[in-house]
Structure formats: C-alpha cells, structure tokens
Amino acid sequence: MDEAREVRTTCPYCGVGCGVLAGIAADGTTTVRGDPDHPANFGRLCSKGSALGETLGLEGRLLYPEVLGKQTGWDEALDLVAEKFSRAIAEHGPDSVAFYVSGQLLTEDYYVANKLMKGFIGSGNIDTNSRLCMASSVAGHRRAFGEDIVPGVYEDFERADLIVLTGSNTAWCHPVLYQRMLAARSEHGTRIVVIDPRRTATADECDLHLALDPGTDVLLFKGLLTYLAQAGKIDAGFIRDHTSGFDAAASLAEADAPSVARVAMGCGLTATDVQAFYDLFAETECTVTVYSQGINQSAHGTDKVNAIINCHLATGRIGKPGAGPFSVTGQPNAMGGREVGGLANQLAAHMDFADEANIDRVSRFWGAPNIARRGGLKAVDMFQAVADGRIKALWVMGTNPAVSMPDASRVRAALFKCDFVVVSDVTRTDTTRHADVLLPAAAWGEKDGTVTNSERRLSRQRPFLSPPGDAKADWRIVSEVAARMGFGDAFAYQTPAEIFREHAALSAFENDGERLFDLGGLIDLSETEYAAFAPRHWPAPERREQQARLFADGRFPTPDGRARFVPVRQEATAFTVDADYPLALNTGRLRDQWHTMTRTGSVPRLMANAPEPAVDLHPADAGAHHLKDGDLAHLSTRFGFVRARVRVTEAQRRGQAFMPMHWSGQFAAKAAAGLVSSPVTDPHSGQPELKHVPARIMREETG
Ligand code: SF4
C-alpha cells in the first residue's frame, strides 16, 4: 500500500445504513468518518459507527477452513459440505436440509443462498436472523399494503410535526436517526411521544412518555382509532377512495376500546396521558409513527403493526411528506434479505408462494424446474426441526443462534445433536463450537456488494482491505458449494455486480408494474457503474425516475389497489407473571454494543459504559428481593437461567426487569438473554416474543 486513499462504504451495524468514509493511510492504518454526502447520515456517526476502525484487527478471526477442528483447504471443506448436503437430500428429501442466514449478509450473498436453497435444492428452508428483528412488520405490511413496503423516507422525520416512537429506543438503537429527529425538533419544534414500558434514553428527551403495561400496544392504538372516529378526525375521503375494511376494524376497535378511560385502565396509564397522546395525534396532520423491536418481538407483533397502520389509514396520513407508519429495521441488511426472499415464507424478489404464477415465473427465470413450491421453516421452527432430527444438515451463515435464539439451551442441544453443521462466519462464536465444518468468511471492509437501509435505500459496501488468510466472500462460498452439488451453470458468477444485475432482472421479469419491488432500471449496470453506484431508493423501474416516498397516489399493490384495514384484537402476552415468576423480563440493546458483541466487544471504549451484563430492577423490586445495586443475581424463567449484576434504577417500572441481549459465552458465562427468552412466536410472522417473559430473581450465592 503506497498511497493514502479513502473508500466510500456503508456502516455494517444497524438499519439506518449510514455512509462511511474509510481512509487507508500509506502505512496501512485505517480511519473512519461519516460520509457527508450520504443521505442517511450526512456525515454523522454514532458511537459504534465511529469505532469501526478499531474493529479491524484479526483477533478471533477465522482464517482457514476447518473440518472437525482441523485446518484444511477449501476444496476438502467444500467437497464435504456438498457431499453431506447432497446425501441428506438424496436419502431424506430436500426438506431435510436448511440454511440459517443473517441480516449481516450483503444482498448478493443473500440472493445466491436463497437461489440455491429455494431454486435448486428445492426446499423453502432458508430463514434469517432478521426473523427475530422485523418479521412482524413484514407480515403487517403485507396484510395492509399487499407487499412488504415501508412507505416513507428519512426526510419525513424532518418534515413531521409529531413523531411517535413506539417500541423503539431510537436514541440507542438507531442513534443517527434520533439525532436527525432532535435536530428537527430544535429547528421547528417537532413534538416527540415515546411509548415504552421503560424510561429509556429516548424517553428522557420526549414531550410525552407513555409507560404502558407490556403487550398492551394493540389496545392503545385501537383506542386511538376509536377516538379519531368519535372526534370526527378521520379522513373519510381517503378511507372511501383508497382503503377497504374500515367499518369492521373501527367497530371491533370501539367494542374493545370504547373510551379513553377504558384504554388507560387496560394499558396501566393515566387517562390524562392517553388523552394527551390522542389529542396530539388527532390534531397533527404531519405525524410519523416509528416502530421497531418493541412492537415486532411479540406473540402478537403483526396485530400491533396493523393497529398502528390502521390509524394512519384512517387519517390518510400515509404517502405524504412528514406522515406515515415507519418500521425501522435492526440489521444493516434486513431489508436486502426481505428483497431477495431470505425469509422462509418468501420466494424471491418480493414474491411469495401463495401465487402459483410467482413460482412458475421464478422457476423459468432461474431455469430451476425443481424449485420449492411452498415456504419453509421459520427460525424457531427450524431449530425445533434440527432438535427433532428432521433437519440432517444445517448451514449457519454469519449469525450466532447458540446465543441469540430464544430458549438458547435447546438450540445448543439441537446443534450438538445435528448430523452435520456448517458455519461460515468471520470470527469464532458460541455457534462455531458446534460446527463440523467451519468456513472463513470475508468481513466488513473486505466485502463487496449492496445493502438496503430502513428507508429502502440501496448503498454499496465496498472493500478497502484484502481478506486475511483464506477468507472469502459468502456468495463465492455458496456458489462453489452449488457447483459441487451439480448446479454450476446457474452459479457461475465472477463478480458481485453480476449477481446484482440478475437480482434486478428477476425483480423486473414479467413485472407489469403490479409489483412495486422493481429494480428494472439497474439491470444493465456495468462493472464500472456498479463500482460507482450512489445510494438510491427502490423501486427503480426502467424508464422512470426513482420514486422515494411511496403511495403518494393513494394506490397500493393489492388486487383492488386499496390498502386494507385489519381488524385486530388485544390479546394477552404468551405467558403472564404469577407468584412463581413475578417479574416481566424485557430484553433489548445497549447504546454501544452490537448483537452478540463479536465486533464491538473488542473495542475498550465501547465496553467502558457497560463492562458487565446487568439486570435492571426498580428499587422496590430490588428491595423486595433483598438485592442491592451491584449484587450478583440469579435470574430464571421457565426456559433457563442467567447470572448478572443488579442495576437498580427508577427507569424500570415496578414488576419489570430488563437485560441486554448482547452477552455471549465469549464475554460472560451464563449471561446470554437467549437462555431465558421464550420461543413462543407470533402466528402470522413467526417472530418470537423476546420482550416479555415471566422471571424470578434472587441473590447469587457465590460461596
Ligand atoms: Fe452505524 Fe447505525 Fe450508528 Fe449509523 S446509526 S453509524 S448505521 S450503528
């Protein structure tokens, strides 16, 4: 390296998708700064993003393929993977194998993995850890809009007069978006309402905080729909011309949530606060409602999403500047995974299995007569199938389910028992311990491809380092296995740009405009154009300018062109607290950590604020359990136990506890939130209820 240079790329952490300029000095040292020209962040970075340069060391990196713990060459490792998968398929059928992938994969990686599993192996068994993050939003969007569409763009946060943040600790989990919201607030007085059982860093800054009882979000938004109807604040013209199902949704809402007083009682709030929220919403035309894991990670997450969307449809506040429901995603490329079909219930390019015409279309496009004809196993069910012995060969790509999946002990036992486990990843994790074959993948800074952020904006991740050792791109690893399984012609990719062009072509294949996901204008990108690709939104159809904010014309991708109100019921959480398990345990993120800390855990300044796993308790609960701040506690649920320090804080409501989701065996034994989380899932989305599980706590006897 003899010349300093700067490479334009994208942060690999969260769904905000900030642009990053990675500077490489002549001596090889790397610096990172926010890209002032990237429209997601305009130069801003949060604590995690600004520490990216400190995560590029090789400590813990997987450098060479391993078979049963012994270093080997790529040929031997990939021959074995292809042979074991082919044999399982031959002996037990295509549904005996599965891929569990990740929102960390680039779109090109995702596309190739999905094509191999659904197109050529002929099973729907590919699911992603994004299932744990936003599957309920996907299901809710499809019910309401006919397609998985986030209608708005980040600019709406600056144009809104009211931002409702529900189930979203935006200040910590999407910090740069939060900075944009606060800047808008100081410039033109945007009001911010936070709906969250905890007093989070986000709630600290808001105009109104509704610390509702866990799981009562549907009731709150049904009450809002009732209130809007009763107060004459609905947009009757929009409802008439652009929607269906209003009467059924409104009458069910009125039956269950007839008054502010009833809602307040059901949600554990004061009538004054509920009234204040309803008045603000009713009177503020430019309202954006942002929702995230606190809504999605629930046994009724899809209904919660639709309860929110119902209120926006009723007021016609969708597809307009500064107005709309807005799901923000956790992972850097959760959206890219949604686009290519990385969820087990999706087929490809936003098409699903419900329509035979989709299956036929994708089969012809791929030249894949053996294509899967139905969806596969969603994450929790997939690991259950591994435990039951139905899955004989599993490939985990870029994720750590031994820590992050709910009921993680059962997941570890399933991995231990599985006939054949492949893990391709960047570093060693709790999951790599279970691998028969370990494959070293290229990391951020080495990878080359695209990601899509929460506002449907595609950006490039560009390489500025060479992969160390034998590490290589995920799409290459999957393609080489596909070739060994006899599918070489369909996987003869030489560059990520080639894969991207094929992905774009599939989205436009026999698409007469009915399907909004359309990258037809990007089919002919040359290698040079792909290299220089500037951030842009989809849809990007041929011969049309990009359309940023969707649904501006009031048309939706449903058969009748109308958005659908969905009647929803307030249901109880999957488990309720009782005398044995009196605390409602919630899990979530810390400001400075990312997922299971495989990257951020190596940066001392990111570890400084929370060096140990902790359980937050209200002072009254701590006192009742004879615990004080700093004590080591044993916290258990019906699914397992963890050990963590007690942090006593007034931010926690009485009867509730909170612990971060990040710790793994790498950093603290027996502190993974997955060990105590419930695997109960939402029936529509398959997303587990990670925000609520009854727990009990006692002092850990260290004796
Ligand atoms: Fe990265 Fe998200 Fe922080 Fe932006 S907000 S720098 S994308 S972690």
> In this model, does residue 261 exceed pLDDT 60?
yes
> In this model, does residue 285 exceed pLDDT 60?
yes
Query: Span 312-320, mean pLDDT?
Result: 97
> In this model, does residue 115 exceed pLDDT 70?
yes
Q: What is the pLDDT of residue 545?
A: 62
Query: Span 574-582, mean pLDDT?
Result: 93
pLDDT band at 2 (very low <50, low <70, confident <90, very high): low
Q: Are 155 and 278 in contact (CB under 8 A)?
A: no
Residues of the chain with CATH 2.40.40.20: 583-699
Residue 136 in tokens: 């309920």
Q: Are 520 and 540 in contact (CB under 8 A)?
A: yes
User: Which of 364 and 514 is assigned the larger pLDDT?
Assistant: 364
Ligand 1 within 6 A of CB of 606:
no
Residues of the chain with CATH 2.20.25.90: 5-55
For residues 80 and 438, give the distance between their C-alpha atoms in angstroms, rounded to a whole number: 11
Residue 306 contacts by C-beta under 8 Å, 6 or more apart in sequence?
140, 143, 144, 566, 568
Residue 176 CA: nearest ligand 1 atom is: 5
Ligand 1 within 6 A of CB of 81:
no
- Whose CA is closest to 40, among 17, 21, 22? 17
By percentage, how much of the chain surpasses pLDDT 70?
98
CA of residue 168 to ligand 1 center, whole Å: 15
Ligand 1 within 6 A of CB of 14:
yes
Residue 20 CA: nearest ligand 1 atom is: 6
- Written as one letter, the residue type at 146 is G
pLDDT tens string 633-661: 999 999 999 999 999 999 999 999 999 88
pLDDT tens string 43-98: 999 999 999 998 888 888 999 999 999 999 999 999 999 999 999 999 999 999 99
pLDDT band at 590 (very low <50, low <70, confident <90, very high): confident
CA of residue 176 to ligand 1 center, whole Å: 6
CA of residue 150 to ligand 1 center, whole Å: 19
Mean pLDDT of all residues belonging to the chain: 94
Query: 133-330 adopts what CATH topology?
Result: Dimethylsulfoxide Reductase; domain 2 (3.40.228)
CA of residue 458 to ligand 1 center, whole Å: 15
Tell me which of 9, 10, 14, 35 to substitute to probe ligand 1's pocket, judged by most ligand atoms within 8 Å of the beta carbon: 14
For residues 700 and 703, give the distance between their C-alpha atoms in angstroms, rounded to a whole number: 9
Ligand 1 within 6 A of CB of 328:
no
> In this model, does residue 122 exceed pLDDT 90?
yes
Ligand 1 within 6 A of CB of 46:
yes
For residues 346 and 333, give the distance between their C-alpha atoms in angstroms, rounded to a whole number: 16
Q: Are 595 and 332 in contact (CB under 8 A)?
A: no
DSSP H helices in 257-407: 260-267, 271-283, 293-296, 301-314, 334-340, 356-366, 379-388, 401-404
Q: What is the pLDDT of residue 1?
A: 44
> In this model, does residue 330 exceed pLDDT 60?
yes
Ligand 1 within 6 A of CB of 18:
yes
User: Which of 609 and 679 is assigned the larger pLDDT?
Assistant: 679
> In this model, does residue 506 exceed pLDDT 90?
yes
Ligand 1 within 6 A of CB of 32:
no
Tell me which of 9, 13, 20 to substitute to probe ligand 1's pocket, judged by most ligand atoms within 8 Å of the beta carbon: 13
> In this model, does residue 237 exceed pLDDT 70?
yes
For residues 121 and 289, give the distance between their C-alpha atoms in angstroms, rounded to a whole number: 41
Residue 424 contacts by C-beta under 8 Å, 6 or more apart in sequence?
395, 396, 397, 398, 438, 439, 440, 441, 474, 477
> In this model, does residue 703 exceed pLDDT 60?
no
> In this model, does residue 478 exceed pLDDT 60?
yes
Residues of the chain with CATH 3.40.228.10: 133-330
> In this model, does residue 288 exceed pLDDT 70?
yes
Residues of the chain with CATH 3.40.50.740: 66-129+340-488
Tell me which of 54, 157, 174 to substitute to probe ligand 1's pocket, judged by most ligand atoms within 8 Å of the beta carbon: 174
CA of residue 13 to ligand 1 center, whole Å: 6
Query: Span 564-577, mean pLDDT?
Result: 93
For residues 609 and 628, give the distance between their C-alpha atoms in angstroms, rounded to a whole number: 19
CATH numeric code, 583-699: 2.40.40.20
Q: What is the pLDDT of residue 597?
A: 80
Residue 177 CA: nearest ligand 1 atom is: 5
Residue 453 CA: nearest ligand 1 atom is: 7
> In this model, does residue 205 exceed pLDDT 90?
no
- Whose CA is closest to 127, among 356, 425, 430, 338? 338
pLDDT tens string 378-421: 999 999 999 999 999 999 999 999 999 999 999 999 999 999 99
Ligand 1 within 6 A of CB of 11:
yes
Query: Span 217-233, mean pLDDT?
Result: 98
Ligand 1 within 6 A of CB of 176:
yes
Residue 130 in tokens: 């994004």
Q: Which letter, b or e, does each residue of 99-135 get, where b requires 16 or more Cβ atoms within 10 Å of its Cβ?
A: bbbbbbbbbbbbbbbbbbbbbbbbbbbbbbbbbbbbb
Q: What are phi and psi of 206, to 5 degrees?
A: -90, 170
CA of residue 295 to ligand 1 center, whole Å: 21
Ligand 1 within 6 A of CB of 175:
yes
CATH numeric code, 66-129+340-488: 3.40.50.740
Q: Into which CATH architecture does domain 5-55 fall?
A: Single Sheet (2.20)
CA of residue 12 to ligand 1 center, whole Å: 8
For residues 45 and 180, give the distance between their C-alpha atoms in angstroms, rounded to a whole number: 11
E strand intervals along 488-543: 536-537
CA of residue 319 to ligand 1 center, whole Å: 26
Residue 332 CA: nearest ligand 1 atom is: 7
CA of residue 10 to ligand 1 center, whole Å: 9
pTM for this predicted structure: 0.95
CA of residue 203 to ligand 1 center, whole Å: 20
Count, residues in the chain? 703
Residue 594 CA: nearest ligand 1 atom is: 8
Ligand 1 within 6 A of CB of 17:
yes
pLDDT tens string 658-702: 998 887 766 666 777 888 888 999 999 999 998 899 999 999 876
Q: What is the pLDDT of residue 172?
A: 93
Residue 47 CA: nearest ligand 1 atom is: 3
CA of residue 20 to ligand 1 center, whole Å: 9
pLDDT tens string 420-459: 999 999 999 999 999 999 999 999 999 999 999 999 999 9
CA of residue 599 to ligand 1 center, whole Å: 14
